[in-house]
Structures are given as structure tokens and as C-alpha cells.
Structure 1
Amino acid sequence: MAGSLVESEAMLGSRRLSSPLSSPVQAEVLFPRLTVPFCGHIKGGMRPGKKILIMGIVGLNPESFDIRLTCGDSEDTSADVALELKAEFVEKQLVRNACVSGQWGEEESALSYFPFIADQPFRVEILCEHPRFRVFVDGHQLFDFYHRVDTLSAINTIRINGDLQLTKLG
């Protein structure tokens, strides 16, 4: 195994692993549960063809959780947010947005259905294509989010927070 594809900086320190996210074989993460909140480095940043896999279990009584792809140092709270996915369980919405140069854009929330269920496993795949992120949940394409950050390679951090357990990240 080449190593995990996304690493938790909190758990692995400053080591960088060599396996790219675009690898056709998804490597297992080295620990059974990833700690939430999670912050990890995306080796080489994003580019067309690169995919991020997030697997987990929704909390028992969830209010929300979010997944963010950000630019810059993982500790920089003012870093651009290339994509924020926020699952809101009361409203049954998956809100998408981006923050560039300190300005949040227009939220997107239209979906044909809400894919997450309390206390159930899920699989989110974020595929980076030239004009957009294409997001799949449990194998079904859910939506496209067109890039608002111009330099894809600058998108190098993933943050996950909220009412979920992580089981695999690649």
C-alpha cells in the first residue's frame, strides 16, 4: 500500500505521503476512525481528473456537517474556500458555496433529493474537472459546482466538521 491519499495533519504531523489523489486504486487509511474535526493536506493540490473520496457514518441525531476544500495553510482561517458542502438535516439541504478573497458567493442548494440519513453510512466523491467539481453521493451524481477559484493547484486542504464519523478518506 502506497499510503493514505489524504493525511490528517493532526494525527500524522508534518509528514507528506506520496500517493496522489488521482490514483485509480483507493488506499485504506491507516486508522479505523478519523478524528472530526478533520484537517488534511491534498498532495499536489487539485487538478482536472483528481478525485477525493470521503466515507463515513452520519451521526445519530445530526444537525449538520460540512466538507471544505480550501487554499493555503490548513491553519489559515482566511484562506479561500474553493468548495463548501454543508449538509443541513432540519432543512434537508446540501448547501454549496465558495469564498474567494474574503467574499462568499451565491449559495446553491437545489437538489432532486437529500442523500444523507441519520446513523447511516455514506460515500461522497468529489471529482475535479476542468470547469467544475462533480459531486457523487453513494454512486449517484448529485450536482456540479463550477469553479470560483482560478488556480486549482492552490486547493490543497480538506476540512471536515460536524455530526459524522469518518471511516475512510482517499
Structure 2
Amino acid sequence: MPVQFEAFCSGGLVPGWSLMVQGQTNSKDDEFEINFLSESGDIAFHFKPRFSNATLVCNSFQTSHWGEEEVFNVFPLELKEPFEIEIFSDSEYFHVFIQENKVAQYEHRHKPLASINKVQVLNDLRFPLVELSKKRLYRSAL
């Protein structure tokens, strides 16, 4: 798939970085993926909605091998309908939200987090909005 968006961040993308993607698919073949990559080229976090079987897939590609897929059967995406996906990272997890509802949580498999310095969105279609931003992390008072 061609790269539609790519951003680099010196110092690493996590924790506190958020990726917002807005788009719309036209057919079940309009698959796309989002990858957070490390300096070494490993994929620290791979997110791919699969319209063909209505699942969300998360994984990591490290030292030339894919890890065990984590498959989520919650699939709030609909063909030909606009969507908004946000992927937010804290010190332990990538959190995936679709239409502001949390649909997946993926534990960091790649360490150190500071070495995750690139994000890519791959797709044959154009997305009207792709935004990478830094959010403030809040700690709850106990």
C-alpha cells in the first residue's frame, strides 16, 4: 500500500502522542493500516481494520518476525460512512478509539518507547485529516 502520511519525531512518539485519522471507505477492499515504527525499522504497533471479516487487528513486527496478532471483534466502522480513529499512547499501552469509543488496548511490546520515532498511514485512498499531536498525560490522585 502507498504511504499517505508519514511523520517523524525526534525523542520518540510515546508516551503522550496522539494520532487522529479521519476518512471514509468506498468498498470492503479499501483497507488501510497505521504503523508506529522504531529507529531500527521494527513496527512497534501495527493497526489494521479488516472490513472483509469485521475485525480490528493489532500486532508488532520485531527482529524480522510478526508477533501474535491481537484481534478485536468490535468493529464500529461502516462502509461508505465517515470515521474518526484516534490512537493515543501512554507509558503502558496504545489506546485505540473509533468515533470516540475505546475499541482496543495494546500493550507496548517494543522498548524503549523513545526509540519509536515514526508513524505511517498506508492506504490507496486519501484521508481528509491526519494529525499527530502531543497530549498532556494526567495522573489520578489516590
The yes-or-no answer on 1:68 pairing with 2:35 is yes
What does the per-residue CA deviation read over 1:49-89, in whole Å, with 9 as the maximum and x for residues that have no partner? Answer: 2211111122x1132211111123xxxxx710011111111
Structure 2 counterparts to residues 1-170 of structure 1, below 5 A: 37-44=3-10, 45-58=12-25, 60-63=26-29, 64-72=31-39, 79-111=41-73, 113-162=74-123, 164-170=125-131
Normalising by structure 2, we get a TM-score of: 0.81
Normalising by structure 1, we get a TM-score of: 0.69
C-alpha root-mean-square deviation of aligned residues, in Å? 1.7
What does the per-residue CA deviation read over 1:107-136, in whole Å, with 9 as the maximum and x for residues that have no partner? Answer: 01133x212111221111111111111111
Q: Unaligned 5+ residue runs, structure 1? A: 1-35, 73-77
Q: Please say if residues 56 and 168 of structure 1, whose CA atoms lie closer than 8 Å, have aligned partners that are also in contact.
A: yes
Number of matched residues? Answer: 128
Please name the residue that 1:15 is paired with.
Answer: none
3-state DSSP of counterpart to 1:115: coil
Larger strand fraction of residues: 2
Q: Please say if residues 126 and 136 of structure 1, whose CA atoms lie closer than 8 Å, have aligned partners that are also in contact.
A: yes
More relative contact order in 1 or in 2 (CA 8 Å, sep 6+)? 2
Residues 1:87 and 1:163: Cα distance change in structure 2 (over 3 Å): farther
Partners of 1:117 and 1:142 lie apart in 2 by 15
Q: Unaligned 5+ residue runs, structure 2? A: 132-142
3-state DSSP of counterpart to 1:165: coil
Q: What is the CA distance between 1:140 and its match in structure 2?
A: 0.3
